[in-house]
Amino acid sequence: MKQVYLDNAATTAIRPEVIQRMTKVLQEHYGNASSTHSFGRSSKALLEQCRKNIASYFNVAASEIVFTSGGTEADNLALRSAVRDLECNEIITSRIEHHAVLHTAEQLQKEYDVKITYVNLNDCGLVDYTHLEQLLQESNKAVVSLMHINNEVGNILDLERVAKMCKSNNALFHTDTVQSVGHYTIDLQKIPLDFLAASAHKFHGPKGVGFCFIRKESGLKPLIFGGEQERGYRAGTESIHNIVGMDEALKIAYTNLENDKAYVFDLKNYFIEQIKSKLPNVSFNGSCSDSKNSTYTLVNVCLPIAPEKTSMLQFQLDLKGIACSRGSACQSGSSQQSHVLTEILTEEHLKQPSVRFSFSIYNTKEEIDYVVETLSAFANT
């Protein structure tokens, strides 16, 4: 059976070069980085070199990079400490954030009675910047949490605009960049945000590792206690091989960024052209068909398929060897509708199946032809 993987927004294949480097580290650098003997010092040297390397891509100090288990932990670290330790009494966010942010905010509201305010969105799910400015002017001590790129529909937030808006209104700004790190350059000297979350497995690195950027002198406190690792921000023995894998994946991603971006962007445009040709009544959710306001890595389509056939679509695609997602991968096992699509789609469109296809350098136009033909055959039978 043909196998086509178009679920790269959920996770990506690890690059062979990354696996090779991780394997070498597993074999040769197994010392605990907190140990003072030569084995430990070897691991510590690797750890700190990776920290410096990663910091350089974002134009920040190495001390501002804290390694975590991934984006979810980084989101929790920033938001929880902003409320608990930095005395933020309001979280300004949107209703289409990742649940790592939304559920954390809801839990903080229960624990600390913090106010949650949702910024208005337009019909495509883009943030209403005028409303955000109004909310900031009305707030006292707020932390804004808005993702750079929406993981379901690909909408892009103007990070620099929001960061400067927050700064001028004495608010903190946290952003989840899980879908953008490794795919876009982010200069944190030009963008005065306070906290950023990233995850290696979204840019062809290993799962179980990510990082949190914490602006120096922010006053953020630990989420996990039990040791002095990560300058006290995150207790626990560092996973050196995973951190090295993340470093290698990020190095390759940014070295090849322009060529890879052009290749994947061409695949996305080709997919849009082909599916429009085969299914003229298809529609595109959010701004995913707008190259200016959406990422080049994914498209979320609302398919003109009869409601009674909707429940069989994902099953049929899987039978054909096609991997994709209804909403985010975190929700794909749930019978509930995507909270993102529920927020931005009409009732009529919600009755039709929506599917997210996300692309990488390992995809081809031949694969896209196969997927579009499969969708067309299913819709027309």
Catalytic residues: 330
Strand partners, 7: 358
Helix axes 240-255, 38-57, angle to 10 degrees: 30
* Contact assessment for residue 252 and residue 15, using Cβ atoms and an 8 Å cutoff: yes
For β-strands 4-5 and 195-199, DSSP reports them as unpaired
As a whole number of angstroms, the distance between CA 201 and CA 11 comes to 6
For β-strands 298-302 and 283-284, DSSP reports them as antiparallel
What is the residue-wise DSSP string for 256-325? SHHHHHHHHHHHHHHHHHHHHHH-TT-EE-TTTT-TTTB-SSEEEEE----HHHHHHHHHHHHHTTEE-B
* Contact assessment for residue 310 and residue 355, using Cβ atoms and an 8 Å cutoff: no
CA 223, 147, 159, 204 dihedral sign is positive
CA 185, 191, 192, 195 dihedral sign is negative
**Number of other residues whose CB lies within 10 A of the CB of residue 247:** 24
**Number of other residues whose CB lies within 10 A of the CB of residue 350:** 15
CA 56, 57, 63, 64 dihedral sign is positive
Q: Residues 254, 259, 265, 267: what is their CA dihedral angle, to the nearest 10 degrees?
A: -120
Helix axes 257-278, 365-379, angle to 10 degrees: 30
* Total length of the chain: 381
